[in-house]
Structure formats: structure tokens, C-alpha cells
């Protein structure tokens, strides 16, 4: 969360706390997915080293309430769709 302002970090933690006791371990993965989909097109055009450098310094310095709300909303949608989905890959076969 070092890539976000203190205000946005507090907003994210507020969401995690309101989602329940397992929210960080369960909801955080969807927040990460929402981050990746935000920059999906740009990331696909980069090589591995470029991706790593980009992800270590995300361009979120100018993000305000609207951007963090959109990110959390997208994460919530992903969570709603995929959280209880059965695995599409059968283990052991």
C-alpha cells in the first residue's frame, strides 16, 4: 500500500474491516486483480522487467477518492462473481 496516499490507504483498510474478519486474506486478492486490470493494456505491452518496474512504482500519486472508489467497486464485483466459483482445474487429473 506504499503506492497509495495515506488517505486512500485508510479508505482501503476501512473497506477491509467492513468486509469481515477474513477480508484482508480473501478480499485483498480481488483488489490486486482490480489493480492489474486497471493497467492491463499497458502491462501487456511491456516485457517482464518493465512490468516489475511498473508494479513497484504504480502511477497512483494523483489518485483521489474517485479512483480508489472505482478500484474497490471493481474488486467487489470480482469478489461477487468469483469468490464461490468452483475450480475449473481438477487437481490430480
pLDDT value of residue 92: 53
Neighbour tally for 68: CB within 10 Å: 20
Residue 57 makes CB contacts below 8 A (sequence gap 6+) with 3
Mean of per-residue pLDDT scores for the chain: 87
| Sign of the alpha-carbon torsion through 45, 47, 50, 56 | positive
pLDDT value of residue 91: 54
Q: pLDDT per residue over 1-23, tens digit each?
A: 577 889 999 999 999 888 888 87
Average pLDDT value for residue range 40-45? 96
Average pLDDT value for residue range 39-51? 96
pLDDT at 39 over 50: yes
CB 60 within 8 A of CB 67: yes
Give CA separation, 29 vs 12, 52, 93, in Å.
Answer: 13, 18, 26
Amino acid at each position: 500500500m506504499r503506492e497509495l496516499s495515506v488517505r486512500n490507504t485508510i479508505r482501503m483498510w476501512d473497506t477491509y474491516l467492513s468486509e469481515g474478519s477474513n477480508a484482508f486474506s480473501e478480499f485483498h486478492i480481488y483488489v490486486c486483480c482490480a489493480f492489474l486490470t486497471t493497467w492491463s493494456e499497458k502491462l501487456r505491452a511491456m516485457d517482464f522487467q518493465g512490468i516489475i518496474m511498473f508494479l513497484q512504482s504504480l502511477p497512483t500519486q494523483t489518485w483521489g477518492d474517485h479512483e480508489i472508489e472505482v478500484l474497490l467497486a471493481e474488486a467487489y464485483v470480482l469478489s461477487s462473481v468469483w469468490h464461490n466459483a468452483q475450480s475449473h482445474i481438477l487437481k490430480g487429473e
